[in-house]
Chain A
Amino acid sequence: MNIETAGMLVTILGLYAAIGLLVGLIVVTVGASRMDPAAKGMPLQARAIILPGAAVLWPLMLIKLFTQKEPPVS
């Protein structure tokens, strides 16, 4: 892999991570309880634990935030 391709790959990964962090913060602050009523009143430590997952799955989180009508079937 040449340095230009590597640079582009790292930039794309960095952008993905930055957007993920932003969406992740929205999910753990207000989005989680909207998606899942069981997440209402979730302690701060639990929110911090789900932040990396929300960040890495941010496209899915956006879809869920805007389209999910029903809570998850448990």
Chain B
Amino acid sequence: MSHGYNAVGWTPFKKRFDRWMLAGIGLYLIVFVAVSVVAPPDGESFTPIQILIRATGTLAFLLLTFILCIGPLARLTDRFKPFLFNRRHLGVTTFLIGLAHAGLVLLWYHGFSDVNVFVSMFASNPRYDSLAGFPFEALGFIALLIMFVMAATSHDFWNANLGPGVWKMLHMGVYLAYALLVAHVALGAIQFEKHPAYLALLASGVVIVSLLHLYTALASSRIDGGKILNAGWIRVGATSDIPDGRALILQPTDAERIAVFRDGDRIAAISNVCRHQGGPLGEGRIIDGCVTCPWHGFQYQLEDGRSPAPFTEKISTYPTKIENGIVFVNPEPNAPGTEEAPSIIGAPA
């Protein structure tokens, strides 16, 4: 959280995660190269650099596809939350693999040109008016530039100094990068690849990413808006409807989502939006007495919406009450960091 900056906020889990990630990447590259050498497609033979170009290209595409699936999957099952916590490392690694792919392409296909390699890349195929012959390398280059901007601004320093809104908008560029990458791979495969595996890989990735996003968007739109009662109170549900250490999320009309948490016999409501990167706090849980964001572990005290000292983040709190075992929340937010005593289950109303 925002108390000084380190290069990387290492934890034992993150180190383990990175080791597994690098091992997986190494294994993929080894298997890809081995299969390409032992069983090349009929009638084709590739140089080692061409094999590496394909290996790094497919790996970058697969990793980016997986990264885009992490958010929706983590909403469906907690098993993907660890990936959500470490998505930043995956993203930077994906950019580096894309960079290696681009470097190999420039070296192999443009490195022997009389002109600058970048000039050669943009000018060697002038068929910008043809779909079938479109210079797909340019699309990959733009996608890589977008991924570079995201990787370069992934540190918490940038989140704090650009502001969560601008930072988030910048990083939504991943969808544009993915669209460009899809076009890059599709046109490349159509123009140069005879093996159907590339188009199958591409189609599967696009379909999975699209369906997962569609499904979670529909599920999210079904979040209960609550029934507004007298004096603006919204009925949340029975106390037993809120699992201990977890929250129910409400979507008031024209207002920010509210996460209503239960911690033992205490019920309290806070904003559903994490100050760090806008993560859904209501999908997190209470750890060490604090609401913990499922995205990067930012924490907030339930009673005042403040991060525990020495951190300084603050979010809005909301008044709650319990009547006949039913929890109500007032959708009018208190100023961020305002103390609001939790309602106590079983206490006289």
Contact = CB atoms under 8 A, between A and B. Distances in A.
Interface residues of B, number: 31
Contacts of B3: 38
B122 A50 contact: no
Contact of A2 (B6, B126, B152, B161): B126
A57 B167 CA distance: 12
Nearest to A45: B7
A13 B28 CA distance: 34
Contacts of A22: none
Contacts of A57: 149, 153, 162
Contacts of B14: none
B5 interface: yes
B155 interface: yes
Interface residues of A, number: 32
A28 to B, nearest CB: 10
Task: Please give me the 4 A-B residue pairs with the lowest Cβ-Cβ distance, nearest first.
Answer: A45-B7, A6-B122, A52-B152, A6-B123
* SS class, residues of chain A in contact with chain B: helix
B27 interface: no
A30 interface: no
A10 B119 CA distance: 6
Contacts of A1: 122-123, 126, 128, 135
A67 interface: no
Contacts of A53: 152-153, 155, 157-158
Given A56-B149, A72-B163, A46 B7 contact: yes
B33 to A, nearest CB: 29
